[in-house]
């Protein structure tokens, strides 16, 4: 598999265009050693083209789950095929396991494109194009995302990114996480919202920095303020992730492998159905033919805790 590496004196970012333009490594150089910021991607995941096990992958033209793979839009009901290893769920969009085209714009920028026009096996009823640009800049990474309706009908739309962060950096203590949001969606056994966003309970409140500890999360926070911070006590480093306002929601998932997914997304889980049911502030956009939405993320690492 052809991997693209963007590297400077501080950071090394590795991307697999042939596997959904997924990130397969983000590492920090310290004392001559490369320490993973995002969970490393196993060689077997690349060999098996298993994008859910990468360091971070792109979510489009929707993020997270769609209940029973079925949604209503424009007076019609659409049924999608299961696309997850369990053979049951439809989740995380239609692009993360597919090959993208890629072009190096300069030594520190990679522009990736996925165009669904004309695909016969597309598991989505509307054609679209996604463009993602990764740029390594000084002490951080900038990621810009654009989603375009290339069809002839309106389409519901959204996107996001699914990075898995290490909870320990080298021999550090467990990372402390902080972010602010207006509410959280409480979910059923399928991790799908059952009611509009509620006040954040104390056990899910990270407005002040604290370790995740034993807290189990697979929840979407609404009204995210577009900024989060992690610091690894004892490492001397802290990370800040900032997002444009279109990323109005944040998914936090404490993964079984010990990492934590902090996913900036544009809409709530099962957002297409919630929109059709009249829920407000789902974040779902409706794109007219030729219309597009865009947003940027900025991840930076600086000396800290």
Q: What is the mean pLDDT of residues 75-80?
A: 95
Can you give the pLDDT at residue 77?
97
204 located within any domain: yes
Angle value at C-alpha 282, between 280 and 287, nearest 5 degrees: 105
pLDDT in tens, 84-114: 777 678 999 999 999 999 999 888 999 999 9
Q: How far apart are CA 283 and CA 295, in angstroms?
A: 13
For the cut 80, the answer to whether the pLDDT of residue 253 exceeds it is: yes
Per-residue pLDDT tens over the stretch 107-127: 899 999 999 998 889 999 999
Amino acid 130: pLDDT: 98
Q: Give the helix ranges, DSSP H, for the chain.
A: 43-47, 271-276
Sign of CA dihedral 220, 221, 226, 228: negative
What confidence score (pLDDT) does residue 123 get?
Answer: 95
Q: Which of 303, 298, 294 is nearest to 242 (CA)?
A: 298
- The torsion angle over the Cα atoms of residues 282, 271, 154 and 122, rounded to 10 degrees, is 150
Average pLDDT of every residue of the chain: 95
CA–CA separation, 79 and 11 (whole Å): 42
What Cα–Cα distance (Å) separates residue 218 from each residue in 33, 120, 254? 32, 33, 7
- Is residue 42 in a domain? no
Task: Give the model confidence (pLDDT) of 157-201 as tens digits.
Answer: 999 999 999 999 998 999 999 999 999 998 888 889 988 999 999
Domain that holds residue 285: 57-303
Q: Is residue 77 part of a domain?
A: yes
Q: Is residue 37 in some structural domain?
A: no
Residue 14 lies in a domain: no
Q: How many domains does the chain contain in total?
A: 1
CB 300 within 8 A of CB 227: no
Q: What is the Cα–Cα distance from 252 to 259, expressed in whole angstroms?
A: 11
CA distances in angstroms from 221 to 43, 145, 259, 273, listed in the order given: 33, 21, 19, 18
Angle in degrees, CA 232, 221, 71, rounded to 5: 135
What is the structure's pLDDT at 243? 98
pLDDT at 305 over 70: no
- Please check whether residue 175 lies inside any domain of the structure: yes
Q: Is residue 117 part of a domain?
A: yes
**Assigned domain for 6 exists:** no
Residue 107 has what pLDDT? 84
Rounded-to-10 torsion of CA 55, 59, 64, 67 = -140
Confidence check: pLDDT of 297 > 70: yes
Q: In terms of Cα–Cα distance, which of 176, 300, 177, 169 is closest to 236? A: 169
CATH code, domain carrying 293 = 2.70.98.10
Tell me the pTM: 0.96
pLDDT class for 1, splitting at 50, 70, 90?
confident
Mean pLDDT of the 200-221 span: 96
Phi and psi, residue 172, nearest 5°: -70, 170
């Amino acid at each position: 598999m052809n991997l693209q590496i963007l590297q400077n004196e501080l950071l090394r970012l590795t991307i697999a265009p042939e596997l959904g333009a997924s990130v397969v490594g983000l590492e920090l150089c310290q004392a001559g050693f490369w320490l993973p910021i995002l969970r490393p991607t196993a060689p077997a995941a690349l060999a098996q083209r298993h994008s859910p096990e990468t360091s971070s992958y792109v979510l489009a033209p929707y993020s997270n789950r769609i209940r029973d793979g079925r949604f209503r839009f424009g007076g019609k009901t659409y049924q999608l095929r299961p696309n997850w290893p369990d053979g049951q769920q439809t989740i995380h969009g239609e692009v993360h396991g597919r090959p993208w085209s890629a072009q190096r714009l300069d030594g520190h920028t990679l522009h990736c494109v996925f165009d669904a026009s004309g695909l016969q096996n597309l598991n989505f009823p509307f054609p679209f194009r996604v463009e993602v640009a990764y740029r390594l800049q000084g002490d951080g990474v900038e990621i810009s995302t654009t989603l375009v309706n290339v069809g002839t009908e309106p389409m519901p739309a959204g996107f996001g990114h699914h990075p898995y962060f290490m909870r320990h950096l080298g021999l550090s203590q467990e990372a402390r996480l902080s972010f602010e949001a207006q509410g959280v969606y409480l979910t059923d056994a399928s991790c799908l919202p059952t009611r509009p966003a509620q006040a954040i309970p104390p056990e899910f409140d990270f407005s002040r920095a604290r370790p995740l500890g034993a807290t189990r999360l697979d929840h979407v926070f609404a009204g995210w303020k577009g900024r989060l911070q992690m610091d690894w006590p004892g490492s001397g480093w802290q990370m800040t992730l900032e997002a444009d306002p279109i990323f109005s929601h944040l998914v936090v998932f404490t993964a079984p492998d010990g990492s934590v997914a902090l996913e900036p997304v544009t809409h709530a889980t099962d957002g297409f159905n919630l929109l059709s049911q009249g829920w407000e502030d789902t974040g779902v956009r409706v794109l007219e033919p030729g219309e597009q939405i865009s947003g940027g993320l900025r991840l930076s690492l600086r000396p800290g805790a």
